[in-house]
Amino acid sequence: MKILVMGPPGAGKGSQASRIIEKYEMPSISTGQMFRDAYNAEEPIGIEAMKFIRDGNLVSDDITNKIVRLRLHKEDTTTSFLLDGYPRTVAQAAALDEMLVEMESNLDAVINILSSHDVLFERMEQRRVCKKCGRTYHLRFKKPSVDGVCDKCDGELYQREDDSHESVKRRLEIYETKTKPLLDYYSEKGILYHVNGMQDFDKVTDDIFLVLDELV
């Protein structure tokens, strides 16, 4: 099963993706995490990508398509994968279609997590991420057992630069103009499924599993 998780910034895509890959035992392809890993390793592609991310902008299609193509050609993506954070534009979606044709494959489902802007601002400004393993927390709804420390690996928690108020505002504006049109793109393909992301976190997970269980 090959799926894409969509939704505005702060909708909980990453957290829900973690549960999906655990249940269905599939590799995760998160462009955001790949860019951060490349940046921390001081790789040129990561340094270039971070210039876009810090300003709340989308990383250029050329850079993003390149890193996704490299990841898709690894052996563990042959039968299943979950895409998180890509594609974010119709042009990227078209590039992904070309990659999948090369692999003689296709997407089985696109899960779109819905949420209001007020909720998204609150979520992102209080989001904290583990520097070591990338696990996500929330200062109100998903607190770590020990302040500032990851429950999973004891890594240090931090606020991402792109979770500042101005960056969040910019990211939501970009989502509305560039990413939202993808909903029509995938709706026309008949593989788009909407899930209410403003419910309890576990209920959102249950609703996603209801969709995916029908596709397994």
Q: What structural domains does the chain harbor? A: 2-115+172-213 (3.40.50.300)
Q: Is 88 labeled as catalytic in the residue annotation?
A: yes
Catalytic residue among 36, 88, 123, 128: 88
Task: Kindly report which listed range (44-48, 56-60, 94-98, 124-128) carries the lowest average pLDDT score.
Answer: 56-60
How high is the mean pLDDT of the chain? 91
Candidates 71, 123, 127, 128; catalytic one:
127
Give the mean pLDDT of 144-160.
Answer: 95
Q: Which of 69, 160, 170, 178 is catalytic?
A: 160
Given a cut of 80, whether residue 129 has pLDDT beyond it is: yes
- Annotated active-site residue 66? The verdict is no
User: Is 141 a residue whose pLDDT tops 80?
Assistant: no
Confidence (pTM): 0.78
Q: What confidence category does residue 169 fall into, taking pLDDT thresholds of 50, 70 and 90?
A: confident
Asked if 171 is an active-site residue, the reply is: yes
pLDDT of 186 reads: 97
Choice among 2, 13, 36, 71 that is catalytic: 13
- pLDDT (tens digit, 9 = 90+) per residue, 82-118? 998 899 889 999 999 999 999 999 999 999 999 988 8
Catalytic residue among 2, 36, 71, 171: 171
Provide the pLDDT confidence category of residue 144 given band limits of 50, 70 and 90.
very high
- Average pLDDT estimate for 140-158: 93
- The three-state DSSP-derived secondary structure of the chain is CEEEEECCCCCCHHHHHHHHHHHHCCCEEEHHHHHHHHHHCCCHHHHHHHHHHHCCCCCCHHHHHHHHHHHHCCHHHCCCEEEECCCCCHHHHHHHHHHHHHCCCCCCEEEEEECCHHHHHHHHHCEEEECCCCCEEECCCECCCECCECCCCCCEEECCHHHCHHHHHHHHHHHHHHHCHHHHHHHHCCCEEEEECCCCHHHHHHHHHHHHHCCC
Told to judge if 19 belongs to the known catalytic residues of this protein, a careful annotator would answer no
